[in-house]
Chains A and B, each alone.
Chain A
Amino acid sequence: MTSLWAAVAMIASVVLTSTAGEVLTAAAMKSIGDLDLIREKSGMKGAIKAVVTCPLFFAGVFFLAVAFFALLFALNHLNLSLVAPASASLTLVTNAIAGKIFLKENVDRRRWAAAVLVCIGVYLLAH
């Protein structure tokens, strides 16, 4: 049987790697600029080129891939009804914190409230 600490470590791995992936991908897209405008100016090829030539984007995809395998590993040891809602809802909160610290996003009370409400909502929905 999986111990409590092992379960916490597995869920924390999913949440942290997923947050790193989301934040790096968001930073990449911010540095590239509005994709709709790039597509209007340089076409679909130009938009794809702008994305695939950004190193931050690949760093983000790498962490998202690690998060996916961490999730598979966690699912191999824990119940889906625990892992899915816990990781989905906790990731919303860690993303709000990381968005404020690393992306310098203005996470005002409205966004905090939304993150917490959605977090609890996802948890309830998965039960």
Chain B
Amino acid sequence: MGKHTLTARQYGILALVSLCAPLGDTCLSRGMTRMPAMTLDHPLTLVSVVFTPWIAAGIALLIGFFASYLTALSWADLTFVLPATAFGNVIVALLARVWLHEQISMMRWAGIALITVGVGFVAQGPSRTERPEEIAARQESETREAAL
């Protein structure tokens, strides 16, 4: 693999991917559990919930997630982005502990530890697989820099 390292801005995009998806899901879940039970007999009620504050916030966050996810995939490998952004699960678990005072079992702490180690593993490696032509171009520019 090549030497692709990320800029601070690109780390920011990965952080957005990590945060927006679980927070968006949490907003949708919170909004939907407060709604009365819905049936397919009245499909328009599903449309009307889109305009309630929690659901609207959830949708906005998920749009933010998709935009930042697509941006990340344009400069990093899929096999880098997916594990790296799994850290969002840990953040949500910790938020649930701090804000909602939920109990975190030993099993969950073990899960948090494994995800953190996994994210650390992948984040230390290169973000993108270089194609042969990219390797040739990089080597050429390195040779040129060395000559100067």
Contacts and interface: CB of A to CB of B under 8 A. Distances in A.
A30 B73 contact: yes
Interface string B111-141: 1111111110110110001000000000000
B28 to A, nearest CB: 12
A34 to B, nearest CB: 5
Interface residues of A, number: 39
Contacts of A125: 89-90, 93, 108, 111-112, 115
A127 B114 contact: no
Nearest to A64: B66
A51 B125 CA distance: 28
A106 B127 CA distance: 10
A66 B34 CA distance: 27
A108 B83 contact: no
Main SS of chain B's interface residues? helix
Contact of A111 (B80, B89, B93, B107): B80
Interface string A87-109: 00000100110011001111110
Given A23-B78, A117-B115, A124 B86 contact: no
B45 to A, nearest CB: 17
Given A105-B129, A118-B82, A120-B114, 20 more contacts: A22-B78, A36-B10, A95-B79, A99-B78, A104-B129, A105-B77, A108-B125, A111-B79, A111-B122, A113-B121, A114-B121, A118-B118, A118-B119, A121-B110, A121-B111, A121-B114, A121-B116, A125-B93, A125-B111, A127-B107
List of 5 A-B pairs having minimum Cβ-Cβ separation, nearest first? A124-B111, A117-B118, A121-B114, A125-B111, A121-B115
Interface of A: 22-23, 25-26, 29-30, 32-36, 51, 92, 95-96, 99-100, 103-108, 110-111, 113-118, 120-127
